[in-house]
Structure 1
Amino acid sequence: MCICVNCRHVQDCMTYYMIQKQHDLIYNNKKVTDNFFVPKETLINININYTNLHTYFDWDLVECLSFTEKPGYWIV
C-alpha cells in the first residue's frame, strides 16, 4: 500500500502525482508546472500482475524521507 495516503505532502507531491498518472487516476486539475513538492529519497515498489491476457502494474511508494504523517490528508 502506498504510504502517501497518510502524508502531509500528498496534495502537492510530485512523486504521488507521477504514481497517480501511472494508475490513470489524475483527480485534480493541477498541472506539472504548478508548485510541486519534490520529496527526498523515495522508494517505489512496482508489482506486476497478470490476469488472463493482460498485464497490470501496481505502483506503491513504500519509503520516503520526506514523509510527514497526517492521516486522512488525501481526503479533500
Structure 2
Amino acid sequence: MCICINCRHIEICKTYEFIKKQHKNNKIKDISNYFTPINTIITVNINKKYLNIYVDWDLKECSSFIEKPGNWLTL
C-alpha cells in the first residue's frame, strides 16, 4: 500500500501525482506549485493472472513524509 494516503503533502505532491497517472486516474490535478519530495522509493509490482497482466505502483519510502493519519479521507 502506498504510504502517501497518510501524508500531509498528498494534495500537492509531485510523486503522488505521478503514481496516480500510472494507475490511469483521470482526475489528475494541474498544480503549478508541486511539492517535490526527496529520497523516494517507488515499487512496481507486476502480476499475471491467466492472460491479464496487472501493474501496481506504490510509494514505499519518502524522506519528506509527514504523517497525518486519515488525510486521504478529506480528498
Task: Using structure 1 for the length normalisation, give the TM-score.
Answer: 0.88
Residue type at the aligned position of 1:40: I
Aligned length: 74
One-letter code aligned to 1:9: H
1:46-75 Cα distance to aligned partner (Å, 9 max, x none) = 111102212111000000000000011122
Question: How well do the aligned residues superpose, as a CA RMSD in angstroms?
Answer: 1.3
Unaligned 5+ segments in structure 2 are none
Shift of 1:27: 2.9
Query: Match for 1:2: what amino acid?
Result: C
Aligned to 2:9: 9
Mapped to 2, the partners of 1:26 and 1:67 lie a distance apart of: 25
Q: TM-score, normalised by structure 2?
A: 0.89
CA distance in 2, matches of 1:63, 1:26: 25
Structure number having the greater helix percentage: 2
Closer, same or farther: CA 31–24 of 1 in aligned 2, 3 Å: same
Identity of aligned residues (%): 53
